[in-house]
Amino acid sequence: MPGSKHIIPHTVNPDLEQERHGASFRVDEFARWWHGGAAKLRFKRELEQEMFNDMTEHNTLLHYKSHEEISEIALRQSLEVAKKLRAMQQRINPGGNDIWPKLYSAAAVWGAMPGGNPFGVHFVMMVEAIRTQGTDEQWERFGKRAENFEICGTYAQTELGHGSFLRGLETRADYDRATGEFVLNTPKLSAYKWWPGGLGHCSNYCLLVAQLYIDDEPKGLQMFFVQLRDEETHMPLPGIDIGEIGHKRGFYGVSNGFLGLKNVRIPRTNMLMRNAKVQPDGTFVKSPASVLTYFTMVMMRCVVTRDNATLLAMAATIATRYSAVRRQSPINPNEREPQIMDHVTQQLKLFPEIANAIAYQLSANKLWSLYHETYVDIERGDFTRLPELHNLSCVMKALCTADCNVGAERLRLACGGHGYLTSANMHLIVSSAAAACSYEGENTVLLLQVGRFLMKSWRAATEGKPLTPTASYLRGPARGETFGKWTGEWANIVAAIEYAAANKVRLAFESMSQRLAQGQTEAEAANGTGIELTQAAELHGRSFVAATFLAYVTGPTVSERSAALNRVLERLLELYLVHTALRHLSDILQCISLSDAELRSLQTRLESVLKKIRPDAVAIVDGFDFHDRCLSSALGSYDGNVYERLFDLAKQSPLNQEPVPKSFHKVLKPFLKSNL
Amino acid sequence: MPGSKHIIPHTVNPDLEQERHGASFRVDEFARWWHGGAAKLRFKRELEQEMFNDMTEHNTLLHYKSHEEISEIALRQSLEVAKKLRAMQQRINPGGNDIWPKLYSAAAVWGAMPGGNPFGVHFVMMVEAIRTQGTDEQWERFGKRAENFEICGTYAQTELGHGSFLRGLETRADYDRATGEFVLNTPKLSAYKWWPGGLGHCSNYCLLVAQLYIDDEPKGLQMFFVQLRDEETHMPLPGIDIGEIGHKRGFYGVSNGFLGLKNVRIPRTNMLMRNAKVQPDGTFVKSPASVLTYFTMVMMRCVVTRDNATLLAMAATIATRYSAVRRQSPINPNEREPQIMDHVTQQLKLFPEIANAIAYQLSANKLWSLYHETYVDIERGDFTRLPELHNLSCVMKALCTADCNVGAERLRLACGGHGYLTSANMHLIVSSAAAACSYEGENTVLLLQVGRFLMKSWRAATEGKPLTPTASYLRGPARGETFGKWTGEWANIVAAIEYAAANKVRLAFESMSQRLAQGQTEAEAANGTGIELTQAAELHGRSFVAATFLAYVTGPTVSERSAALNRVLERLLELYLVHTALRHLSDILQCISLSDAELRSLQTRLESVLKKIRPDAVAIVDGFDFHDRCLSSALGSYDGNVYERLFDLAKQSPLNQEPVPKSFHKVLKPFLKSNL
């Protein structure tokens, strides 16, 4: 009877070995491709080695501890990672910033901070905002101190009463001409800052987003650099009410905080003034380009999209490996129970999510390219591509996080009961994905924005005006062109999804027009048409992902990959397109007619491609090249010693360290005896 | 600046008051209807009063504690509830069992055990199984002791390696004729019992499900009453390896456990022998009716269905109240921000889930009636209705838990970022629903069973043989009858869903037949057709729910309700049917043609009925009559003081009890200083 830590074999589960042996392509080629080349893959592995080499305890054991303990551990671990990254930067590329702080929130280091990183926002947002929105003098005065981690802070925007609707923020900064100071206040409870990561107990400064008032006249949102706590004692400064907002579904150690301000005074020169300015006499100088303030949010949405594709790939890796190890329910009676991955219904849970993760990763790459191109444009004063980037980042963030949330949960369920165990780590991955649906722009709010953009695009299309590249598929339908014939070829499926998207846009536009004709305001009509607008936006985003995946797999990069790898990618594309067509079948059938045989063929193709992917499934997720510590899952480790690891981790529960818990004598025994 | 516990007003949020004032029906009538009459409602409230009156701390504060602490609190609280229920039973109906132990797992007392109940399985399954499967002598010997709570135990069936596939269980009980004992073993790690609630540290006995062997010949699964721990010391007995399986996504305090057995001997008379028997000489007497063993599982699935409808109603209550209090994003610029429930997209998140909860509750009621009728039949030796009940309980359990999981998460997301806070309690409700998708029969496994039942039914239908009542809609389509005309009336929509279900059944049957014709075995063909089988099962279940809801709202009970209440129920039915038709639109369009205008009309009806339900939404969820402690949500309390409650609960975080956490001096300060 096994009962100790030494029960985990040093061998790989034979079923998993068999899977790897039977793959039709080389996993190392897949991994190099996935990570952008051999050098990048090698560096990622070196980074993981450096981050994880001295970690001994399984990450999921964290969850036996109290909230206070977890918070302290998260603090320690995040600083440990900072030290290691700085040391690597120093060793590999002294003076650069490509490792530190750039990789502080990268997926490869997540495994070193299972409680989350309370200083992520400090680097990703606060330091960056001071750099881009502050003056040189401000950068010298406090930006560098923040960058050097002498002080720690956060970006305090969201309030208890307002999130995605920024104009509704209630924190105010009143300019006092007499003293040359801003007076900061959260005039009521709903104005309290609420949510910023690290704000609770891991910040002594923050970048405060507040409504600027001069002579009680509002001047719009501005950013203010505010000291919150004494650097020596960490005591909150006068007028500051600060703390953490409490336990959450995930990110336990991130110290999300609240902040109330009562007549807190800061010097005028603490407002970030690279763009908008307040002069000593109270004259307000507007920003020359207000779009700049939201460019950071665009960047964040690109980050969120990429990270969520990674979360989905992590969940898919765990569930796929487990499905190769778990054997259950004979298909033919009296035969050996098959790997559960041989059940077709299980394949349908796993493989479309693998394809989704890849489709979103490729789309995120494309989004990043567009981001960098637009960045260069903007530096040259050319803002023409910004609306497209903005809307694309909105819809991609919304779709990817929503699909990742649903998909990761589907994969968790695909692990059966064991997927519910913390030692499986699945629900913690789902929890991270779930959070992303609400932060950096609530998904429905984002889809509605994109829907309104599509209304403008449709009008432009009907008027023959130019369209942004990703909306150019609207042109034909707006001219009244019909779809033509369903052939079911890849390009034809992409065209069908685009046509269905255009049809939804048209329907929404007609509903809008009808409401306007009835005398509703534009805003009322948009609200009334909200459901159709979000549906149109969803299909618009799906078209982009499908077109991107198709272009990638059939485009010029084909020659860079082996025939074997291309075949695997083609199967994943086939699955993605067929599955997406079935998912949106009612949208397609509303504007394109498919015969019974054609419908049948979609179902057959689905079943057929699942079968083709089956022998390569483990190798594909191996190709994502997740480190075991990144997955932190008893179900998903590379060696597939699933039951031994589940058992080993259970044995490490604090409650299992003694045969009889104290509570028996204190609580249970007296009760049972009283019933004799 | 508010900073103390006294910030919660004693008044009701004016927006909520306004909502209640504007409702078109009487909430008290709804509540009486929902709870089955005035007497039942009164009793439920009395019960809650009794359970909750001395509880002072908010339930969600539990989650700041360590796993060990939570386990002890859950143990204490569950015993406290037991004492209170027994006292109530004694006071109200001495000698009965309608309160104790019957209500030990009822929704009305969940709020008294936020960590879960480690003794739920003891009463719901172990005591019941001994009563129904044990002999009178066994009931006297140990059943009564268990019922009297002198001992505590669990029902140990699931193993590390096997769950839903019962025949695969590996724990064995070998009969030793020489000593008249069974020798119990878990021959390998995957045979360990794994999951049973309470097994970890809250059981000194269990009902063990094991493969009976006589002379190494398997005789099928039997139940054995086994002592696990010493009654005085709670020390595990020799040969017993026992503990808890560790931290999970939810049910933190339920002490789900593992159990390994090595040559543990129990007397022959500890096998439950009301049906199957082992005589002293080793002669095995088969059970006269093997169906009886799975009747408990049927009952459990009815319980799970009802409980999950309740969880969905809880989540809907919280999200709806919050949506009446939260104001965000003006519809018309320069107007006041509306309650977010005025955004149509928000209505689409909330109201269909309210309708779902009601539809599932009514269907669960119908399922329970069928259960009781079948129970009476079986007592009379009539098993004819059992297959229908079995399949109906499978599909209802699978659909209701899956929809509740998705629906509760949708409602959590509808609360925006705040829905992520533990103080909102939403994610804990979702976690409970999520668990139910895997336990008591994994959902996909259940749907596949129902799919195979539908294949038999289709064959019977084509051969003109009798059909069970809930599958009788297959008769017409099996004869080749077409749908007729889409009119969009309620009965017509139900018929369309049934017709689409029949069409899926037909398609799956054809796929099966084709695979059989290709030489596949029945089992291989069923696996290959798995996707279509589950889709058919899903639509079959949906038909039952839709038909049940329709029959209820338009049937003879109409006269028992006021016109105002009937109008509300009609709107909820309209929403349910239109929403379900849109959800399954591609299935419908594959076999029924709808014109553009008819499609348009579905969308218009959806928007129109959302608008009609809007003024009654708060009153409807009020009518569910959840006690604040049952909801345990800062977002969903009756008074709607959302922001004050969020703030109050944040202030109660242990980390907020001191202005500076200890970790600052130990960890953060030395790090920051080292960077100077």
Lookup: tokens for A137: 């003098």
Of A26, A576, A621, the C-alpha closest to A318 is: A621
d(C-alpha A189, C-alpha A654), whole Å: 40
Strands B193-194 and B205-214, by their bridges, are unpaired
Q: What are the residues facing B259 on neighbouring strands?
A: B193, B242
- CA A575 vs. chain centroid, Å, equals 23
How many angstroms separate the CA of residue B239 from the nearest CA in chain A? 9
- Using a CB-CB cut-off of 8 Å, the residues of chain B touching A521 are 332
The answer to whether the beta carbons of residues A153 and A123 sit under 8 Å apart is no
Per-residue pLDDT, averaged over A170-192, amounts to 98
How many angstroms separate the CA of residue A239 from the nearest CA in chain B? 9
| Per-residue pLDDT, B333 | 81
A197 is in an annotated binding site: yes
Determine, for residues B532 and A603 on separate chains, whether the beta-carbon distance falls below 8 Å: yes
| Per-residue pLDDT, B6 | 67
Of B172, B169, B127, B332, the C-alpha closest to B263 is: B172
Torsion-angle region of A551 (φ positive above 0: left; ψ -120 to 50: alpha; else: beta)? alpha
What residues of A are labeled active site?
Answer: 440
Determine the residue of chain A that is closest to B348 in CA distance: A531
Instruction: Give the CA angle between residues B305, B309, B315 to the nearest 5°.
Output: 145
Lookup: tokens for B291: 């169906």
CA separation, residue B244 to residues A436, A664, B118, B207 (Å): 32, 14, 12, 17
Is the predicted pLDDT of residue B104 greater than 60, yes or no? yes
Is the predicted pLDDT of residue A4 greater than 50, yes or no? no
Of A470, A636, A652, the C-alpha closest to A547 is: A470
- Tens digits of residue pLDDT in A98-113: 999 999 999 999 999 9
| Per-residue pLDDT, A474 | 98
| Per-residue pLDDT, A468 | 94
| Per-residue pLDDT, A164 | 82
| Per-residue pLDDT, A290 | 65
Lookup: tokens for A347: 């394949």
- Tens digits of residue pLDDT in B516-569: 999 999 999 999 999 999 999 999 999 999 999 999 999 999 999 999 999 999
Q: Does A670 touch chain B (CB under 8 A)?
A: no
Phi, psi of A673 (to 5 degrees): -65, -35
Determine, for residues A671 and B585 on separate chains, whether the beta-carbon distance falls below 8 Å: no
Per-residue pLDDT, averaged over B85-91, amounts to 97
- Tens digits of residue pLDDT in A501-538: 999 999 999 999 999 999 999 999 999 999 999 999 99
Of the CA atoms within 13 Å of residue A297, those in its CB half-sphere come to: 19
Q: Would you tell me the crossing angle of helices B490-517 and B530-554 to the nearest 10 degrees?
A: 160
Determine the residue of chain A that is closest to B598 in CA distance: A590
Q: What are the residues facing A207 on neighbouring strands?
A: A155, A225
Is the predicted pLDDT of residue B5 greater than 60, yes or no? no
Determine the residue of chain B that is closest to A167 in CA distance: B329
d(C-alpha B616, C-alpha B639), whole Å: 17
Q: Is the whole model's pTM more than 0.95, yes or no?
A: yes
- CA A233 vs. chain centroid, Å, equals 36
Q: Which of B524, B586, B662 sits opposite A332 (nearest CB)?
A: B524
Q: Which of B168, B244, B521 sits opposite A337 (nearest CB)?
A: B168
Per-residue pLDDT, averaged over B395-403, amounts to 98
DSSP code of residue A122? I
Determine, for residues B660 and A161 on separate chains, whether the beta-carbon distance falls below 8 Å: no
> Which is the catalytic residue, given B48, B181, B388, B440?
B440
- Using a CB-CB cut-off of 8 Å, the residues of chain A touching B652 are 246
Determine, for residues A663 and B201 on separate chains, whether the beta-carbon distance falls below 8 Å: yes
Determine, for residues B649 and A331 on separate chains, whether the beta-carbon distance falls below 8 Å: no
Determine, for residues A438 and B419 on separate chains, whether the beta-carbon distance falls below 8 Å: yes
On the question of a cis peptide bond just before residue A101, with omega within 30 degrees of 0, the verdict is yes
Q: Which of A344, A585, A654 sits opposite B528 (nearest CB)?
A: A344
Residue B50 host element (H or E): helix B38-52
Per-residue pLDDT, averaged over B389-416, amounts to 98
Per-residue pLDDT, averaged over B117-133, amounts to 94
Write down all domains in chain A, each with its CATH number in brackets. Answer: 122-288 (2.40.110.10), 294-466+483-620 (1.20.140.10)
DSSP code of residue B231? T
Determine, for residues B72 and A662 on separate chains, whether the beta-carbon distance falls below 8 Å: yes
Of B200, B205, B263, the C-alpha closest to B230 is: B205
3-class DSSP assignment, residue B380: coil
d(C-alpha B461, C-alpha B467), whole Å: 7
Lookup: tokens for B459: 């064959």
| Per-residue pLDDT, B287 | 86
Phi, psi of B267 (to 5 degrees): -65, 150
d(C-alpha A245, C-alpha A199), whole Å: 9
Rg (CA), chain A: 27
Determine, for residues B246 and A649 on separate chains, whether the beta-carbon distance falls below 8 Å: yes
Average per-residue pLDDT for chain B: 96
Residue A414 identity (one-letter amino acid): A
Chosen for mutation from A610, A663, A669 (greatest number of chain B CBs closer than 10 Å) is A663
The answer to whether the beta carbons of residues A566 and A553 sit under 8 Å apart is yes
- Tens digits of residue pLDDT in B481-501: 999 999 999 999 999 999 999
| Per-residue pLDDT, A46 | 97
Strands A155-156 and A205-214, by their bridges, are parallel
| Per-residue pLDDT, A2 | 38
- Which of A13-22, A353-362, B159-168, B458-467 shows the lowest mean pLDDT across its residues? B159-168
Phi, psi of B407 (to 5 degrees): -65, -45
Per cent of chain A over pLDDT 90 is: 93
Per-residue pLDDT, averaged over A108-131, amounts to 96
Label residue B332 by pLDDT band (50, 70, 90).
confident
| Per-residue pLDDT, B293 | 64
Is the predicted pLDDT of residue A607 greater than 60, yes or no? yes
- Using a CB-CB cut-off of 8 Å, the residues of chain B touching A66 are 64-66, 69, 654
Label residue A676 by pLDDT band (50, 70, 90).
confident
Instruction: Give the CA angle between residues B35, B38, B40 to the nearest 5°.
Output: 55
- Which of A335-339, B140-144, B308-312 shows the lowest mean pLDDT across its residues? A335-339
Is the predicted pLDDT of residue B2 greater than 70, yes or no? no
- Which of A90-104, A288-302, B136-150 shows the lowest mean pLDDT across its residues? A288-302
Q: Does B217 touch chain A (CB under 8 A)?
A: no
Sorted by sequence, the CB contacts under 8 Å of residue B621 that are 6+ apart come out as: B313, B316, B317, B320, B321, B354
- Using a CB-CB cut-off of 8 Å, the residues of chain B touching A65 are 66-67
Average per-residue pLDDT for chain A: 96
Q: DSSP states of B427-486 as a string? A: HHHHHHHHHHTTSSS-HHHHHHHHHHHHHHHHHHHHTT----GGGGGGHHHHTT------
B197 is in an annotated binding site: yes
Tell me what ipTM this predicted complex has: 0.97
B5 burial type by CB count under 10 A (0-12 exposed, 13-18 middle, 19+ buried): exposed
